[in-house]
Amino acid sequence: MGKKERFFLKIYNLGIIKFGNFTLKSGISSSIYIDFRPIASRPDLLIKLSELLLQEVLYYKFELICGVPYAAVPIATTLSIRSKIPLIIKRKENKGYGTERMIEGIYKKGQNCLLVEDVITSGDSLLKTIVDIEKEGLIIKNIISILDREQGGIENIKKMGYKIKTLFRIGEILKILEEKHFLKKQEIHIIRLYFSKKNRKTLQKRISYEEKRKKIFHPIGKRLIDITLKKKTNLIVSADLVNSKKILSLANLLGDIICGLKLHVDIINDFSHSFISSLKNISIKKNFLLFEDRKFCDVGYTNYLQFHYGIHKISSWADIITVHLISGNSSIQNLNLPENIGLITISEMSSIGKLFDDNYIRKALNISIKNPKVIGTVAQRRVDNRLLLFTPGINFSKINKNNFNNTYIHPNTAFEKNKSDFIIVGKGIYNSHNQKKIAEKYRKVAWTAYENSIKI
């Protein structure tokens, strides 16, 4: 057994591998979780680890070192102390006051920085960090990580033109642990199942609507998929108009090519229940669902009141409603949701400067997965296969004159990269001179992108 392997057995004893049901930062679900943070409390092991990592990057030229926050920060710090190469610190989020810098430390534009990561899964969070560092004018050519979970991340990063090395690969360390009898029978079973070729393929592959339908038990989730398959449309139009007649005419015009119409009922100047009943009739005739994007965000009881009472009486007509989880599980537990209404949670918003961070998103996804009334979630990343993923902030053009600080992505990115299931388009359609033509274009592009993404 080599030096590297002996080192791994030492850190394994710190409890860095946990078994259970986890949602990773990338949105992928996993039965094993690997966490290198305990090493930070063992200076002797941190020094050993930094020596092993430095050997890997011996021939790389770099003038700065940066760790992906937070797990890799103590590791990068030790690397910096041992190599005498300066450290810079990448913030996870903007402080919101003072200099608002994302990178702390002393550096000059054009300097070459070595990036240090602990675990690579999909590579998405690493690529986000790279974007932030490159924005500061620094150059990243080389990346070093401790462990590759062998779930496509390394390939994704290499595809973007970066050189990446890892100390360990999951397959090889699990083999050592098994050989040295460090694992219980049950643990070996869980690992084999999770990392089997078939499972790896399913984790990387997008799940088709037919397969998702089997995983979703809520009748509204099933109905939405049935409509989508029947009409070959995964397009939801956001009718953010303040006049009820305009909404009705948009619904009539686009009803045949959408699977859902999304409303913000509280912006309609002339709201009335006769408007709602006309809209409901169109939705039945043309076979699409009505989404009320109320984003309930108060404590449970207030959410309940806002949902059932007031002039809008949302619970009497909506097929689907959106809810924030900012006040925790109780925001959805006490809604007294009728069986024929599905919930969409907001795990992450599309706005520039959003406050959602990885931790919040992970917790929101965990609540969403456990609640059978939740049919899906909104997020700008891939999520667990058991949820339907809805993506707003969609436009053919990324740079949009009237973006009002929303981030826009192309439908292809939503389906192919994020494995989204539905796109939500507002201004891109209702502001157009030819709403029907442009909506049909969004439908076609989105449907083709979905079909292409199943083949990947």
Any idea which residues carry the catalytic annotation? 293, 295, 298
Secondary structure E strands in 73-125? 87-90, 103-104, 112-120
- Per CB under 6 A, the list member of 39, 191, 378, 409 interacting with ligand 5BU is 378
293 is a contact residue toward ligand 5BU (CB under 6 A) = yes
How many residues does the structure list for the chain?
456
Q: What is the sign of the dihedral through the CA atoms of 91, 92, 93 and 97?
A: negative
- The 200-239 contact track toward ligand 5BU, x by CB under 6 A, reads --------------------------------------x-
Q: Is 270 exposed, middle or buried (0-12, 13-18, 19+ CB in 10 A)?
A: exposed
- Closer CB to ligand 5BU, residue 45 or residue 343? 343
411 is a contact residue toward ligand 5BU (CB under 6 A) = no
- Closer CB to ligand 5BU, residue 151 or residue 233? 233
**DSSP type of residue 208:** P
d(CA 449, CA 447): 5
- Per CB under 6 A, the list member of 315, 393, 442, 445 interacting with ligand 5BU is 393
Nearest residue to ligand 5BU on Cβ basis: 426
CA-angle at 37, arms to 166 and 100, nearest 5°: 90
- Closer CB to ligand 5BU, residue 32 or residue 425? 425
Of 42-50, 145-153, 276-284, 426-434, which part binds ligand 5BU (CB under 6 A)? 426-434
428 is a contact residue toward ligand 5BU (CB under 6 A) = yes
- Strands 163-169 and 235-238, bridge-based pairing: unpaired
d(CA 85, CA 35): 26
- Per CB under 6 A, the list member of 240, 298, 358, 416 interacting with ligand 5BU is 240
DSSP string computed for 272-305: -HHHHHHHHHHHHHHT-EEEEEEEE-S-HHHHHH
Q: Please report how close the Cβ of residue 154 comes to ligand 5BU at its closest, in angstroms.
A: 30
Of 39-47, 176-184, 342-350, 356-364, which part binds ligand 5BU (CB under 6 A)? 342-350
Phi, psi values for residue 431, rounded to 5°: -85, -5
Q: Is 147 exposed, middle or buried (0-12, 13-18, 19+ CB in 10 A)?
A: buried
Q: Please report how close the Cβ of residue 351 comes to ligand 5BU at its closest, in angstroms.
A: 6
Residues that bind ligand 5BU (CB under 6 A): 238, 240, 264, 293, 346, 349-350, 378, 392-393, 406, 424-428
